[in-house]
Structure 1
Amino acid sequence: MDHFLYRAGQLHAEDVSVAEIAAAVGTPVYIYSAATLTRHFRLFDEALGETPHLVCYAAKAAGNVAILKLLGDLGAGVDVVSIGEYLKAKAAGIPGERIVFSGVGKTRGEMAAALEGGIRQFNLESEPEMRALSEVASGMGAVAPVTIRVNPDVDAKTHAKIATGRSENKFGIPIAKARAAYAEAAALPGLKVVGIDVHIGSQLTELAPFEAAFTKVAQLTEALRADGHDISRLDLGGGLGIPYERSNSAPPLPVEYGQMVQRTLGHLGCEIEIEPGRLIAGNAGILVSTLIYLKEGEGRDFLILDAAMNDLIRPAMYDAWHDIVPLAEPAPGVEPRPYDIVGPVCETGDTFARARPMPPLTEGDLVAFRSAGAYGAVMASEYNGRPLVPEVLVSGDQFAVIRPRPSYEEMIGRDSLPTWL
């Protein structure tokens, strides 16, 4: 469920007309619903019930400081994968004891900064990283709380570019080597083992892969405890998918996920950490764009928008589907026509949809890409000299720009000329 609905024939974000925001801010523009973000966080929080837990929102999905503050004020922790995300979380007022640092390539500088600023735990991904953190922490006279990310070799049955739990993926330590890795971590100065980390991929639409991975984690927990390790936390990552295409069947609900977590891991008495990103932010955001031209081609017609692959790269990178709807609700019985929906970037890959049935549109009409809140604005670039797309947050009947569109002067001003030119 989201809070982007037609009212009196016009698409609204909560109680604000989307067309009103587009007129004030321009297009393309990302618009987020605070009510949807709140609802989705609470669904996850409630799904884990009385089990001791912390929902650590994955900042990589949509990392605007305003979004992080909204969720942090609700009690969320944050999962970060860079010191930049860490500093954003701190700027949003989230304390270090609610920040988890993941990622396969943490630098020593990032480790030191997180230790100095406060951290709940580091999720370690390799033995070399483990040794580096030990050296950094020892040099600072600190002790770093750590989990080790294990790779359970489970096929998440998702897109190859977002699968992370198979043996050929770069993430984590093979689960068969986990006991040796934990033995080394326990012997290193500056580290304190607190739990196990696992994350098998993103946009999972069934629970079976999670259950297979968590069953392996339960077995590993018991083995590590037998080896003398104090395993008190289980970080289960994120990955639960959202229904991008409204006509398709919906992925499992958070409550069903929570029941599965309890069934597979509840007997261990561990605190549970989860790191949802897409399910919290995905349906909480739309990308609004203006139709520039309607072009008739040879055997196909094109809708050319002012949004492009640099604003929303998911279709080009992942062959991803987004429902695309006009801001003005089509009249009942209107016959759609197939169009290729494209952007102005000089790449054939700058294509959002092919032969997509759309109602009649004219130049200047506005359309919205649904389910664009996750991995949209955070992956945007200035390719083709196009300024970064702005972001807007709506709450009830008010809205605010939470990241402005830079001017061309600001964009160009970030470049500098060497003295010899």
Structure 2
Amino acid sequence: MRTQYLLLLTWCIGYANANAQTIRIPADYPTIQAGIDHAAAGDTVLVSPGIYSENLNFNGLDIVLASFYLTSGSTDFIAQTIIDGGNHTAVITLDQGESSYAEITGFTLVNGTHDESIQWPEFGGGIVCLGASPFIHHNRILNCRGRALNYSDFGGIYCRDSGARIFENEIDSIECFFVKKLGGIVSHRSALIIHKNAIRNISGGYVFQGGGVSADSSELDLFRNVIAEGHFDLAPYTASVRLFNSSLTAINNTLAGELALDTASIAGLTNNIILGPSVASGIYVFNNAEATIDARYNTIAGGWPGAGNFDADPMFADPEHFDFHLSESSPCIDAGDPFFSVDPDGTRADIGAFSVEQTPNGIQDPNPFPDQLLYPNPAKDYVKILRQYAFLTLDRYVVFSLDGKLVDQGPIAADGNLYVGKFPAGIYGIRLYSVDGKVHTCKLIKTGY
């Protein structure tokens, strides 16, 4: 019986993938929510450029919600495809157990807030994830302002009981007063992977736990983010990251404000720049709270014990205009952990979110063209995906037709082999997802002979 059930389950999953549809907005339905309402798991809701005044709910569906950025790779579509929440509630809500196969990509989201229909809402923001773990990448989340509320939470992205992956988003101008937790990203009882985001202009008054990223009872993985200082009236800090009873692994981030810890929080820090302009040290521990900090090879304002840590001006290119690239004379170049991964140019790791290109001996390895990640190409039966290539580690693939329809998806096999013999002859796109959050789009030519 168990064998029959597993066979039936496998057949159903394969059938669902084979029958996944692309729903086009506004060609198929006039609103994005109408497209979601008519979608099934595995479908893609593909949105044309324009301004859409909507508040969306995924309705528990593991679907891809995307602009034309998804199919073209052009970031121009991110600014051209706007969802305006109208200051009614969150712009997008996922609250019915959506998994990591739910995806939001390629939008500008504006004017998210608390739910105006509830007198005392618990949370609000641009994207709200409650018991959901979507993949949120390559979006702009802007101008979200909450109401003055007692003891609620508010964030550009708010996550509770979530395992979301949040990669390469711009989060700007998030504001609220009289709240417990406020941040560009707010995490409560969640385990979040937060890679390569830019977060700035987070502000409010009478905020208990405020920061560019604010976490309570959570586990955070931060990699190559740039997080400006927060501005909170009556607070003794301008925290870029605020931890309360939480654990943090932070590698190669640039924090223009402090790392603030409270109540049994744990932080492992490697190759970060932590400035902390408002207090004596870039790391601020509240009231001698029990906090465990393992810091190595970081640039920390005021200094901090640990191998390779130092206090120096990082010499950013133009920090007043949010350009935190290192100048060529920065002391952070080649000052990272020598036993850590090298920079893409093959030299010792730099400290901070951005590495500086160097050309050892006048020779530099070129970045691989995406199509080099597949071979043979053209192919009839199998292609091999290079799971490990240069500085890439790939773990998931999505195959789609040239008109954007989903053809196949799944984890990349350990040997990298992907059977394509079941596809009709033609040209396909393959999106390859790397563990560091990048999405590589390749072209596959499938032959019939």
TM-score (norm 2): 0.26
Per chain length, whose mean CA-contact separation is higher, i.e. which structure has more relative contact order (CA < 8 Å, sep 6+)? 1
TM-score (norm 1): 0.28
